[in-house]
Structure 1
């Protein structure tokens, strides 16, 4: 967040209700918008975050995130398109995964996608995928 303060445009930080009041006040003094949303399931309530963004006029959200948020978005059915970069490298089983999806352990539990685009980007592949099947209801 520190790199975004003072740059052109608005900066929004979404946090839980217990986030520090003094820190929020200091950020607000620098022009940062603070949005507090409820916590659900050990993280921020994704539907509340998306509803807040929609109320601010955001109709498209790009999430470059870690395995926990990626898994939460996928599990909640809030992914319309998945862009994955695949490098010609192999890592061991202790490497960080693409998405944390506890409980997906058998083929019948899988999440399925359709290819919408595959292209080379340098030495990597860029895979663009769309979820197969009915999508989750839109956040209102």
Structure 2
């Protein structure tokens, strides 16, 4: 009985806290969820911190380019407000600000709080994404 409990704990899901800081406007806390796209999240974590100017795709999502080359992994096309995704075609971290159907992206996590700060960014603002701490559940 104890052995199975130990095995189950070893296979738990890892979550990594990030902060997205918008120069002069505030910050939003995010969470990467490794099981959503393990290869993508690992590569992204190795590439942190990243910083770039904001781009917007209509009012669906805000994104910053990372310079990372990562292929599609468990890609999906439906996203909800507050989702985090990675766009393989241009190596971008996407902050979804409205429920939408879009091109295939790798789901990588969620915006945990202060999504309003992300929604208020303008094209040309700078977002820096940094690691906070690791939480294992």
Q: TM-score range by the shorter chain?
A: under 0.3
TM-score, normalising length: structure 2: 0.25
Higher strand proportion (structure 1 or 2): 2
TM-score by length of 1: 0.25
Larger of the two Rg values belongs to structure: 1
